[in-house]
Structure 1
Amino acid sequence: MIKIHNTLSNKKEDFLPLNLPNVKMYVCGITPYDETHLGHGRAYVTFDVVRRWLVESGFKVTYVQNITDVDDKIIAKAGAGCQVSGIREVAEKYIQAYFEVMDQLNVQRADKYPKATEHIIEMIKWIESLVVGEFAYVVEGDVYFEVAKFKDYGKLSNRKLDDMKSGARVAVDERKKSPLDFALWKAAKEGEPSWDSPWGKGRPAWHIECSVMSTKYLGEQFDIHGGGLDLVFPHHENEIAQTEAKTHKPWVKYWLHNGFVNINKQKMSKSLGNFFTLKDIFKKFDPMVVRFFLLSTHYRSPINYSDQELDNAKEAYGKIMKFIADVDFIISKTTEHAPSVERKDMAEDFLPYEEKFKAQMDDDFNTAGAIAAIFELIRFCHKTIESGDREKECLTLMKEKVLGLCGVLGMRFDNSKIQTFDSCEIEELIADRETARKNKDFKKSDEIRDKLAKQGIIIEDTAQGTRWTHA
């Protein structure tokens, strides 16, 4: 049984979707006004793994992730006097940049990426229903949700309305009934893109789009809503209010929130100016190392970014790559013969490690624990090999099991980066070194080793012969 930490109840709960075996899942997407940073990477790698594990566990997942393609920041990027076409041009540039880095991180595409600008009519109709139901009011072309009318406001963030009122600052906009009331529709400003509405020209505010697009594609009630911890309040709290006020139904069953990426104990974000783009990070570290780094900490815990932490992740990830290379090398040197044990019997030896992996993933998607289980499996495989069990059948199964568990976490391995056996020059140098060693010409042997090292090639002398890997 999968257990999920539900922000709504602030405890772990058994995962029981509304309509087995189907799971409907919505995650707040990007506002495409700049390059995608590591904080985004953490969120979307997290929910990529959530989806992968649910599918691995037999569920049929429908995954929707919105794109906020109309926003103050996009308008600012497009420049004064921009129209709808101007903000779309900016958004499309960064949407494509987002997909490029997500592909490099091996984040699977969502089933649907609805854009805010393509759902304006639905948003207007939604807001109209809230006005008619007296949950919203109109002031000079702006429309606000009246928080006091929704009795459950604060249930997600565990805040009481009275406490929020007493702690709120005096409203900048005195037209609002309460400083807690939030915008549903913004009246048009000169030089900004706008759409016609019953309240005059304007554009949707931030929160309304997620309610409209999630319910359009997933229904009035669905299983999982995800996002970063910073979205719990006010964004997700406001989503609940404006959705349940309209539908009069409990909206989302499970709320999942990933922790921050921190720099010197501060949240990484564009607004703080302390963010690192994934594009820049990929210039120094392989995307799969970055993915490994992000999964090495439980998704709800904060993760501290530094080059040293990435170097540590590179070293750990490299151990998995080296294991695969070791097994491939031994297989290449092993003579085929009938296996001494059945494949079924060999598979049973791996079960404890697979079960531990499953237990960790079932426990609120604990990828850190799952990775630890993979390394335990690798240590077991090394001991098996060292004991003399080098049958191809067994070696192949070892590799399959390790790659299979890594694959569940979305980690992929490029064989060209692990080892390249078709490089004649390197093989010739290794052969020359072997000859030098046999002739006890250790000076020449060391010179060849150093020459290979300068090319980024590490050689290792084993009982089966000399093998080499990329550094």
Structure 2
Amino acid sequence: MAQPPWQAPPEPSETVRARLPRLSVYNSLTRSKTPFVPRDPEGRKIEWYACGPTVYDDSHLGHARNYVSNDIIRRILSEYFGFHVNFVMNITDVDDKIILAARQQHLLRQWRDKHELVDSSVLDTTTAAFQTYIAKNLPLLPPDTGPRTALQAIERVYGHVLAGSSIANDGAPAGDNEAKAKMHIKTASSAAEALSMIEPKMDDFLQKASGVLLPYIDSIEKHTVTGQDHDIFTTLTKEYEKRFFDDMKSLNVQYPDKITRVTEYGPQIVDYVKQIESNGFAYEHEGSVYYDTHAWESSGGVYARLAPWNRNDKDLQQDGEGSLAAKETSFKHSGADFALWKASKAGEPSWESPWGEGRPGWHIECSAMASDVLGAQFDIHSGGIDLAFPHHDNELAQAEAYWHKSGKDSQQWVNYFLHMGHLSIQGSKMSKSLKNFTTIREALALGSWTPRGLRIVFLLGAWRDGLEITGEVVKAGRAWEDKLDNFFVKVKDVQSRQHGGTNGAGVSDGSDVAVTDGVGKLDVSEDAVARELFDVQKKFHDALCDSFDTPAALRFLSDLITFYNSQSPSNISAATSLKLGQWITDMVVMFGLDALHKPGSLGWSGLEIPDEAKAFIIPLAQLRDRVREAAKAGHITAEELGVLEDKDTTYSPSQPYANAYADFQRTLHSLLQASAPPKEWLAACDNVRDKVLWNLSIYLEDRDAEGLPALIRPLSPSLKEERATRERLASTKAAAKEKARAEAEAAELKRQEAGKIDPLTMFRTSEYSAWDREGLPTHDAEGKEVAKSRGKKLRKEWERQRKLHEGWKIEHEQAGQVCPGLSGS
């Protein structure tokens, strides 16, 4: 059936239309950009439902891409365009994966409590679990593969997969089969190591063997878990829900306005399914209820509106059905039909229903909860692109069948579907089920990412496009962040000097003054930077109106800073610098790039040295500035430098800044006492900048050309990298130079040794039996005359050696090391 036309929201009034931005968004329903018009008659409110996490494990960087991108768009709509956004998110705390993970962990804990030691019973059970696991998941291994032979067998049979080839060994992998095989190999190998341990402790043993024990013990004991044992499952989901929101907070993702949980909606979901069945679009089979796609389409409705090309994709359909996918399906009215309600099996949670004990299908949860909170129609629905089919297509079909008795009279349940692109690393999409991910908390704890750096990378990519993390992408994100860092440091210095809060060392004394209209009006006609700011503000606005084009928006900010940096400081008024700095501050804060931002302050956090450092580093920098000026003038006196004491410092790890200041004063006192030349004073100043403060992660930026005091700032990762790169290059260059020198010495030594050989004796070996007066061979060892061709070659060698030997004699005779007549040549 043809795709139905998109039902645009009602036309707003002229007053509302004038107030609305010219915003268009890429809408998955139309697969194009469409004008964004809220359903709210006043054009102020936006109702938004976002698919939240399935909480049974920690969230990874792929989840961060989805939820941070949601947050960026939410902030643009609310903080930039001024809409009132009602953001609703669901928590999936019941589905096949959660049930399996929670039950397996519960049963393993029970089993563990029965065994204090790794005894024969534990080893027998684990060995059986290991063999069951490899038989199911690594079928290419020989049936008799045991723990002790497993590693060799895996290398022999699956070595090509581990090396990057396909399972069939016919090229590069084309799907997830190889990733699954690697996951199973890792699990089996770990269990084999556990079974090979000598007198292991139980916890160490379980850490390695749990991967095979979890499914094995579950297969034996799952019948002991009843449908009413909800706590077994919610214990796991509550823990990981909390961890999810902790991760989101660390990434500066705003909390939802409302959260819905599947476990809190059991009765409402039952009623929702009953209504769909009553409307004629569902049927029951053995306690499960299925959506009737044929009945819906026969009534004039359309199924698979978001991704019609996927409606017959068996793999995607089975993934959506979970455990029901393994059942015989000949009873279905259509191959596209899917479960609304699932009859609970042994070991699964259940709720009462007209069809017997059961639980919600995956897709029905969002339809029921979003309908309950937002009604028959709302503005935005969002999620990862992998949810478009079957999840969101099934949601649409269910909701429209719930609210309407036929497809002909159905209204569009959602006006705008926003799907976020995948994040991949080295071409591989991260997946909880494949266990090939880096969690958000791991990435932040290891320092491989910062919340700001990660968000910048996402902003530099279009929200709906796939994003692969490459070295170039990481480098671009760091470069953009460094550029903003440098800009904010400059304008904060302008602000500090403008408001008299300067300490004379290029940093604020902590009394930052908020930039307000008091900085004065900008004269756009006379100030080039002001004109550029005005133009960029329009471009920036247009970019955000163009489906939240953050890559373009960030490029405009970068270009604006480039233009600012290209101008002579004398041509830029303080008012312009502060106005520019405040607008860029507002925009980066709007994008969520500073969780610690104080309203009205300039720049983002992380630009100041630690508060405990300021009392010592600021006067140190001021003193250093005076020393450098005096040294350059060639006239240094105690009176010009102020009081210098010979500090008797008691070093304390808790006072490294005080130690640095005291050390510098003592060094200057010694130089003054010794009447040291200016170059030694300058060297002492360089040492403070390049070593002492550098090791304290503080960077002093000298600004002699501008006639300004040194700028004090934290040492950025890029500066560290830049210096480390220079040092590596210098080290490589020095190593190459040393190697060349050593090779030259070796070559010279070899030449000297070779030069000692007299050409008269060089061929007197057992290879020959007669020689002429010059020492050239005339007969070989058997007495045969040397052939003419061979003789010519020997003559050439002899001539080379004669020249080499004569040169050696001359060198050593001149040095008095060779007595005349020593050689017979």
Q: Same fold (TM over 0.5)?
A: yes
Given that 1:229 and 1:258 are in contact with CA atoms closer than 8 Å, whether structure 2 keeps it comes out as yes
- Asked if residue 204 in structure 1 is aligned to residue 355 in structure 2, the reply is no
For 1:274 and 1:78, how far apart are their aligned partners in 2? 20
1:271 to 410, 433, 437: 433
Q: CA deviation at 1:138?
A: 1.1
Q: Which residue does 2:584 correspond to in 1? A: 402
Aligned ranges 1:95-134 → 2 under 5 Å: 95-134=241-280
- Higher mean alpha-carbon deviation, 449-458 vs 290-299, is at 449-458
Q: Which residue does 1:418 correspond to in 2? A: 607
- Higher mean alpha-carbon deviation, 40-49 vs 164-173, is at 164-173
Counterparts in 2 of 1:340 and 1:86: CA distance versus 1, 3 Å: closer
For 2:400 and 2:81, how far apart are their aligned partners in 1? 30
Q: CA deviation at 1:305?
A: 2.1
Counterparts in 2 of 1:84 and 1:421: CA distance versus 1, 3 Å: closer
Given that 2:317 and 2:390 are in contact with CA atoms closer than 8 Å, whether structure 1 keeps it comes out as no
For 2:388 and 2:242, how far apart are their aligned partners in 1? 27
Given that 1:171 and 1:179 are in contact with CA atoms closer than 8 Å, whether structure 2 keeps it comes out as no
- Asked if residue 13 in structure 1 is aligned to residue 34 in structure 2, the reply is yes
Aligned ranges 1:339-378 → 2 under 5 Å: 342-345=520-523, 350-378=533-561
**Counterpart residue type for residue 324 of structure 1:** F
Q: CA deviation at 1:171?
A: 6.8
Q: Which residue does 2:83 correspond to in 1? A: 59
2:685 to 445, 452, 456: 445
Q: Which residue does 2:565 correspond to in 1? A: 382
- Asked if residue 458 in structure 1 is aligned to residue 699 in structure 2, the reply is yes
- Asked if residue 292 in structure 1 is aligned to residue 456 in structure 2, the reply is yes
Q: CA deviation at 1:265?
A: 1.7
Aligned partner of residue 220 in structure 1, secondary structure: coil
Q: Which residue does 1:89 correspond to in 2? A: 235
**Counterpart residue type for residue 123 of structure 1:** I
1:72 to 71, 96, 104: 96
Given that 1:334 and 1:390 are in contact with CA atoms closer than 8 Å, whether structure 2 keeps it comes out as no
**Counterpart residue type for residue 13 of structure 1:** T
For 1:280 and 1:144, how far apart are their aligned partners in 2? 41
**Counterpart residue type for residue 24 of structure 1:** E
**Counterpart residue type for residue 454 of structure 1:** N
Gaps of 5+ in 2: 1-21, 108-224, 319-323, 405-410, 501-516, 525-529, 597-603, 632-677, 717-825
Aligned partner of residue 260 in structure 2, secondary structure: coil
Given that 2:519 and 2:578 are in contact with CA atoms closer than 8 Å, whether structure 1 keeps it comes out as no
**Counterpart residue type for residue 440 of structure 1:** K
- Post-superposition Cα deviations, 1:71-93, rounded to whole Å, max 9, x if no partner, equal 22222232242721122221111
Q: CA deviation at 1:174?
A: 2.1
Q: Which has the higher contact order (CA 8 A, sep 6+)?
A: 1
Counterparts in 2 of 1:372 and 1:17: CA distance versus 1, 3 Å: same
For 1:466 and 1:375, how far apart are their aligned partners in 2? 25
- Asked if residue 154 in structure 1 is aligned to residue 304 in structure 2, the reply is yes
Aligned partner of residue 31 in structure 1, secondary structure: coil
Counterparts in 2 of 1:78 and 1:307: CA distance versus 1, 3 Å: farther
For 2:386 and 2:710, how far apart are their aligned partners in 1? 52
For 2:316 and 2:412, how far apart are their aligned partners in 1? 28
2:327 to 150, 173, 195: 173
- Higher mean alpha-carbon deviation, 310-319 vs 216-225, is at 310-319
Q: Which residue does 2:126 correspond to in 1? A: none
Aligned partner of residue 138 in structure 1, secondary structure: strand
Counterparts in 2 of 1:9 and 1:275: CA distance versus 1, 3 Å: same
For 2:550 and 2:433, how far apart are their aligned partners in 1? 29
- Asked if residue 46 in structure 1 is aligned to residue 69 in structure 2, the reply is yes
Q: Which residue does 2:207 correspond to in 1? A: none
For 1:413 and 1:184, how far apart are their aligned partners in 2? 41
Given that 2:609 and 2:698 are in contact with CA atoms closer than 8 Å, whether structure 1 keeps it comes out as no
- Asked if residue 321 in structure 1 is aligned to residue 485 in structure 2, the reply is yes
Q: Structure 1 residue runs of 4+, over 6 Å off?
A: 165-171
2:625 to 434, 456, 460: 434
**Counterpart residue type for residue 485 of structure 2:** M
Counterparts in 2 of 1:168 and 1:243: CA distance versus 1, 3 Å: closer
For 1:408 and 1:434, how far apart are their aligned partners in 2? 38
Q: CA deviation at 1:314?
A: 2.9
Given that 2:283 and 2:289 are in contact with CA atoms closer than 8 Å, whether structure 1 keeps it comes out as yes
For 2:276 and 2:610, how far apart are their aligned partners in 1? 66
Given that 1:433 and 1:444 are in contact with CA atoms closer than 8 Å, whether structure 2 keeps it comes out as no
**Counterpart residue type for residue 303 of structure 2:** Y
**Counterpart residue type for residue 540 of structure 2:** F
- Could you say what the CA RMSD is over the residues aligned between the two structures, in angstroms? 2.7
For 1:352 and 1:168, how far apart are their aligned partners in 2? 50
Given that 2:594 and 2:605 are in contact with CA atoms closer than 8 Å, whether structure 1 keeps it comes out as no
For 1:96 and 1:445, how far apart are their aligned partners in 2? 51
Counterparts in 2 of 1:168 and 1:246: CA distance versus 1, 3 Å: closer
Q: CA deviation at 1:160?
A: 7.8
Counterparts in 2 of 1:48 and 1:421: CA distance versus 1, 3 Å: closer
- Post-superposition Cα deviations, 1:325-346, rounded to whole Å, max 9, x if no partner, equal 221123323466xx99942546
Q: CA deviation at 1:10?
A: 0.9
For 1:167 and 1:94, how far apart are their aligned partners in 2? 26
Given that 1:168 and 1:179 are in contact with CA atoms closer than 8 Å, whether structure 2 keeps it comes out as no
Q: Which residue does 1:469 correspond to in 2? A: 713
- Post-superposition Cα deviations, 1:75-125, rounded to whole Å, max 9, x if no partner, equal 223224272112222111111111112112211122111111111111101
TM-score, normalization by structure 2 = 0.54
- Higher mean alpha-carbon deviation, 306-315 vs 230-239, is at 306-315
Which has the larger strand fraction? 1
For 2:259 and 2:83, how far apart are their aligned partners in 1? 21
TM-score, normalization by structure 1 = 0.92
Identity %: 35
Q: CA deviation at 1:430?
A: 2.9
Q: CA deviation at 1:421?
A: 7.1
Given that 1:321 and 1:413 are in contact with CA atoms closer than 8 Å, whether structure 2 keeps it comes out as no
**Counterpart residue type for residue 259 of structure 1:** G
Aligned partner of residue 440 in structure 1, secondary structure: helix
Aligned partner of residue 333 in structure 1, secondary structure: helix
Q: CA deviation at 1:272?
A: 2.7
Which of structures 1 and 2 has the bigger CA Rg? 2
Counterparts in 2 of 1:167 and 1:115: CA distance versus 1, 3 Å: closer
Given that 2:55 and 2:241 are in contact with CA atoms closer than 8 Å, whether structure 1 keeps it comes out as yes
**Counterpart residue type for residue 67 of structure 2:** Y
Q: CA deviation at 1:221?
A: 0.8
- Post-superposition Cα deviations, 1:420-463, rounded to whole Å, max 9, x if no partner, equal 27423333443454355324323322321222112222221112
- Higher mean alpha-carbon deviation, 451-460 vs 412-421, is at 412-421
For 2:253 and 2:392, how far apart are their aligned partners in 1? 24
- Post-superposition Cα deviations, 1:263-309, rounded to whole Å, max 9, x if no partner, equal 22222221232211111111212211111111110011111125664
- Post-superposition Cα deviations, 1:132-171, rounded to whole Å, max 9, x if no partner, equal 223111111111112222221122113386x668998997
For 1:39 and 1:250, how far apart are their aligned partners in 2? 30
For 2:564 and 2:390, how far apart are their aligned partners in 1? 49
Q: CA deviation at 1:240?
A: 0.9
